[in-house]
Structure 1
Amino acid sequence: MAFIILLGLVSCRKKRVINTSFYYWKTVYDANATERRYFNALHCQKLYVRVMDVDKSDNGVVPISPVTFKSALPNSVQLIPVVYLVNDVLKNQTSQQLDDLARKIVYYVNGRIKPSGKTSYNELQIDCDWTRTTRDNYFYLLTQIRANASLKNKKLSATLRLHQLKNQKNSGIPPVNRVMLMCYNMGNLRKYGHQNSILEQSELEKYAGKNLGEYPMPIDVGLPVFNWVVVFRQKQYAGIAKRLHNDRFFDNKTFKASGSDLYTLQKDLPQYGLLRGDEIRRENLSAGQLLCAASYIQKYISSDTVNIIYFHLDEPTLKHYTYEDMEKTAAVFR
């Protein structure tokens, strides 16, 4: 009898609604054929587009690297504008200055909608790695953005880092409708040696777990589908070689391997700004690692509806994953 009751409960359990989306984190929107194929194959209906960064300059707080739309988004795709806010912008700001910043952010976002081919949007997302010292100013800014008349009936969401998830007492809960948990960039990029600063399963498990289940707000999940090449010069962090692609590492006359992810450069590569003797760490994530991370996270997510957002829609990195890889990863949340 107990088995029959349990079977009935399982069969009546409502399936979680999963929406798959992508971030678009480039300064020019002009999705190519490969990017469109991935987007359509995963039945995406939304695209989270970075509209601008907000940072300090000699002229005060200004928009940086705003997106340009070389082509319009398809009619079937919803645009979710995303604003990246540099944490330093929030320091030493008065309420009046934050009020003004909130108005400017909304005004600028609204001005970028028409060039995208859209007349409106349903959600605005703010991306900021706030800290305990900037929390109050950040939450005040979010409140003022949310109160803007042009955002009436629209949702406001915010990104959430793993340290903010774990340290809820100090980090606080942002005054938004939803948060998007960034399950990437969790290691120390500048640390020399063997590691993967994009995603380490052990690091993920230190911060997530029950903290996910106890978070008092719907949580969406951002997963990484990107890679990068980290450069060290005399064992000191020297930056990211953005144009150096993974296929170059098969040239063992140029790159001498030391382990599975570290290489020593055997000659100068001036086109990449690299010098002989530079040590290079390749960081990427296999489809299996991505699935493992998703399988762990889904056990603690309690929301009935979850947006799975891949970072990001970019052909050179997408080619390392099949449609099936990405669909299988999203499917574990159902």
Structure 2
Amino acid sequence: MLKPRCWLLLLMVFPGLVSCHKNRVVDTSFYYWKTVYETNTTENQYLKALRCKNIYVRIMDVDQGDNGPVPVSPITFKATFSDSVQLIPVVFIVNDVLKNLTSHQLDDLALKIIYYVNGRIRPSGKTLYNELQIDCDWTRTTRDNYFYLLRRLRANASLKSKKLSATLRLHQLKNQRSSGIPPVDRVMLMCYNMGNLRKYGSQNSILEQNELEKYAGNNLSDYPMPVDVGLPVFSWAVVFRHKQYAGIAKRLHNDSFTDHKTFKSSGRSLYTSQKDLPQFGLLRGDEIRWENLSAGQLLSAANYIQKYISSDTIKIIYFHLDEQTLKYYTYEDLEKTAAVFR
């Protein structure tokens, strides 16, 4: 049996034997990024299994109309939320909308966003919410207008008791000196869509570990406000025609490529259509790059990110709540990934 002095010596030499990191509070959530909200047994099972208290629901996009910013593709609620789950509204703002707006127009936009969100969520059964999230891929040319809009939202009397959060792209994280720090309570780091979707080749534009590590690291640990983490649980079929980007084949799924007479594998998740497939918008000879993320890759990304998170509370938000993509992940896969942050 070791004497007290020996234990003290061991602790001095091997500080890793004792963890000084207190248990972090981790809240697991999902984004809901569809235009119609309705109940789904599989999706509800994931919410229950992961003990989700919140769902981040895209309420609308804000795009440029003939006479200024307008709501686009707003959500419709065909079902109501259960009492055990809170709705957190998310508004996506197209970056170009902000370029030439005056302060008066931005004041007006802030009021309209709040008014529209409050009205749109009523059919969900939720008249109250504790956080509003704004999603915008702002740039240096729109930063000042975007931050002004965020300040106007934050100052509104109806939001004073609520949190205001904003999404954060990896390039905004890395270039925070030029991109600026948004005037919000928290940011949600989008750890996906980090590659060039339109570039021909076998890369994965959703998430590649080496790309993630180029942007995060100390840039993440040095960020001057709490950072939540968005992780991808989606997949898509990227189509190339004559090696030029031709869009996303939305109805294609991983199971489609088991038909080798229809899709010939070129290796590394690349497939070539052997005939015209109008139901998918494909022509014979089109190349399809199937992009997804395995449970192991998701876990590796989480293990890397958690090393640079210093806050004692964090939200892990999976993008997004959809039966077709969730079937590639078990409850245990997603729980194990979230548990990395505890």
TM-score (structure 2 length as normaliser): 0.95
Q: Quick check: 4-13 or 281-290, which moved more?
A: 4-13
The aligned counterpart of 2:101 is 93
CA contact under 8 A between 2:233 and 2:320: conserved in structure 1? yes
Report matched runs for 1:12-161 at 5 Å: 13-161=21-169
- Separation in 2 of the partners of 1:233 and 1:301? 42
CA contact under 8 A between 2:171 and 2:215: conserved in structure 1? yes
TM-superposition CA deviations, 1:215-273 (whole Å, max 9, x none): 00000000000000000011100000001111110111111111121111110001111
TM-superposition CA deviations, 1:83-121 (whole Å, max 9, x none): 000001101111011111111001101112211101200
Question: Following TM superposition, by how much is the alpha carbon of 1:152 offset from its aligned partner in structure 2, in angstroms?
Answer: 1.6
CA contact under 8 A between 2:166 and 2:186: conserved in structure 1? yes
The aligned counterpart of 2:255 is 247
- Separation in 2 of the partners of 1:165 and 1:280? 31
CA contact under 8 A between 2:95 and 2:142: conserved in structure 1? yes
Q: From 1, 10, 18, give the equivalent of 1:3.
A: 10
- Separation in 1 of the partners of 2:45 and 2:207? 26
Q: Quick check: 257-266 or 43-52, which moved more?
A: 257-266
Distance change (3 Å), C-alpha of 1:197 and 1:11? closer
Report matched runs for 1:227-306 at 5 Å: 227-306=235-314
- Separation in 2 of the partners of 1:290 and 1:12? 26
Q: Quick check: 178-187 or 51-60, which moved more?
A: 51-60
- For residue 217 of structure 1, give the secondary structure of its aligned residue in structure 2: coil
CA contact under 8 A between 2:11 and 2:18: conserved in structure 1? no
The aligned counterpart of 2:188 is 180
Q: From 305, 319, 327, give the equivalent of 2:335.
A: 327
Structure 1: stretches of 5+ with no match in the other structure: none
Identical-pair percentage: 78
In structure 2, give the amino acid aligned to 1:151: L
CA contact under 8 A between 2:138 and 2:146: conserved in structure 1? yes
In structure 2, give the amino acid aligned to 1:16: R
Q: Quick check: 103-112 or 218-227, which moved more?
A: 103-112
Question: Following TM superposition, by how much is the alpha carbon of 1:57 offset from its aligned partner in structure 2, in angstroms?
Answer: 2.0
The aligned counterpart of 2:4 is none
Aligned residues: 334
- For residue 111 of structure 2, give the secondary structure of its aligned residue in structure 1: helix
- Separation in 2 of the partners of 1:163 and 1:114? 36
CA contact under 8 A between 2:87 and 2:126: conserved in structure 1? yes
- Separation in 2 of the partners of 1:217 and 1:251? 49
TM-superposition CA deviations, 1:38-87 (whole Å, max 9, x none): 01000100000000000012242100011111000001111100000000
- Separation in 1 of the partners of 2:159 and 2:241? 47
TM-score (structure 1 length as normaliser): 0.98
- Separation in 2 of the partners of 1:255 and 1:111? 46
- For residue 62 of structure 1, give the secondary structure of its aligned residue in structure 2: strand
- For residue 181 of structure 1, give the secondary structure of its aligned residue in structure 2: strand
In structure 2, give the amino acid aligned to 1:195: Q
Q: Which has the larger radius of gyration?
A: 2
Structure 2: stretches of 5+ with no match in the other structure: 1-7
Distance change (3 Å), C-alpha of 1:7 and 1:192? closer
In structure 2, give the amino acid aligned to 1:127: D
The aligned counterpart of 2:324 is 316
RMSD between aligned residues: 1.3
In structure 2, give the amino acid aligned to 1:99: D
In structure 1, give the amino acid aligned to 2:134: I
Q: Quick check: 142-151 or 4-13, which moved more?
A: 4-13
